[in-house]
Amino acid sequence: MVANWGKVTMTRKQFDHEMQEARSIRQSDPDKADYFAGYIRGLRKAYRGGSFGVDKDHNLWMSLIFDADKKRHARGLGYRDGFQRGMA
């Protein structure tokens, strides 16, 4: 099944700005590195849609929200938030 990724309303300039901020926080704050690694990936997925990864990967990243491992959980939350930000 192919997902319908909807319409991205974010401009390239907004995308680049979000990515730069997320990368900066990820590098400067080790406690938030996993969250922002997921955020960056989710933002990319939302902005690039089906041309970035496959549905199976998207579902895996979204499922990390329920992972008991704190690092994987943080990545899942970040992915979800980045994806939602890109689709907002």
Exposed e or buried b for every residue in 17-44, given b needs 16+ CB within 10 A?
A: ebbeebeeebeeeeebbbbbbbbbbbbb
What percent of the chain is predicted at pLDDT more than 90? 65
* Residue 7 belongs to some domain of the structure: no
| Domain carrying residue 67 | 12-87
* Residue 6 belongs to some domain of the structure: no
Least confident of 1-10, 47-56, 60-69: 1-10
Instruction: Look at residue 48 and tell me whether its pLDDT is greater than 80.
Output: yes
- Give me the number of domains the chain comprises: 1
Q: What is the distance between the alpha carbons of residues 24 and 18, in angstroms, rounded to a whole number?
A: 10
